[in-house]
Amino acid sequence: MKKVVKMRNVKKALICLLAAVIMVAAGACGSQGGGDAVEDTIIIYDGQFSEMWIIHHMVKLLVEEHTDAKVEIRDEMYPPNSFNEIVRGNADLMNSYDGTLLTTFLHLDPSDVPEGVSLFDFVNEQAEGRGVMLLDKLGTNNTYIMAVPMHIAEQHNLRTTSDLIPIAHELTFGAEHDFFTEEGSAKFNPFVEFYGLNFGDVRQIEIALKYAAIDNGSIQATVAYATDGRNRESNIKLLEDDLKFFPEYNGAVLVRIDLFERLHQVAPNLKEVLNMLGGIFTDESMVELTYAVDIQGRSVEEVSAEYLRNLGLIS
């Protein structure tokens, strides 16, 4: 009889322990806004180049100064994967571009934009179906632009991308892996087909090595980002996209639409705070910021805070 009572007591203890574990787990789940998103914390997966790092750190500085919410910037992630994490609810926002949202994330083309409607407005309307939206434009247009060494540009009098057509077979083109993916229409294969460019050789290289490869002659043509500070440091010529292949890439913060409701208790003014970034940049000012990080070696945190302080947006 004593053994039976003892076994019953053990079972009761195990049941109580299991119930406690379930309650703790339920409480943890209850504190989630969806996926990995914590109730009072904005989750960001960092980008792969300095412009994205800068915007993400500015978001953190603004949010944590002007609201009671927190911002957690996690390790770098390939942008399409970061976008998918946001859609799934495992992250909340990222620095992005209307052209990227159109061609890479939503797999649409500039030709899909109706006449009389801006690319920005069209893509935001389409993005609603994925539960995301772009906030106010930052003021930058970080589009792709062809680049060649200055001595080649001078030798062949190159000013536009079309000027490359007769000499492309003499050149080795190199760019980062992302430019060669099939995720989006504004990539390598559609680009060379559109312009009729037949390069002598094509190489995929690490983005961090691209400018060194241009400078040492390993490649003689690449695509640059218009607001990349390394354009100034490297002895290159940027060629006009004369046939207008590349769409605009207006910078903006891309955010889950439900984020504002989820963080209403700790950040009722969150949308207004994030939109403090709207219109405070130009292509030239972003070049200065990325130059400070990529060439001068200053920290992203220092550069971001200094810029916002100079504008009076943080103390």
Q: Mean per-residue pLDDT for 45-55? A: 96
Full-model pTM: 0.82
Q: How far apart are CA 163 and CA 156, in angstroms?
A: 8
- CB proximity list for 1: less than 8 A, separation 6 or greater: none
* Inter-CA distances, 56 with 45, 50, 62, 137, Å: 9, 10, 10, 15
Q: How far apart are CA 278 and CA 98, in angstroms?
A: 14
Buried b (16+ CB within 10 A) or exposed e, 104-117: bbbebebeebeeee
Mean pLDDT of all residues belonging to the chain: 89
Range with the lowest mean pLDDT among 27-31, 79-83, 251-255? Answer: 27-31
Dihedral Cα 297, 300, 301, 304, nearest 10 deg: 110
**pLDDT (tens digit, 9 = 90+) per residue, 66-105?**
999 999 999 999 999 999 999 999 999 999 999 999 999 9
- For residue 192, the one-letter residue type is V
Buried b (16+ CB within 10 A) or exposed e, 159-179: eebbbbeebbeebbbbbbebb
Q: Which is the CATH superfamily of the domain at 144-239?
A: Osmoprotection protein (prox); domain 2 (3.40.190.120)
The DSSP element (H or E) to which 238 belongs, if any, is strand 236-239
What is the fold of 41-142+248-310? D-Maltodextrin-Binding Protein; domain 2 (3.40.190)
Confidence of residue 2 (pLDDT cuts 50, 70, 90): very low
Range with the lowest mean pLDDT among 81-85, 138-142, 208-212, 282-286? Answer: 208-212
CB half-sphere exposure, 132, CA atoms < 13 A: 29
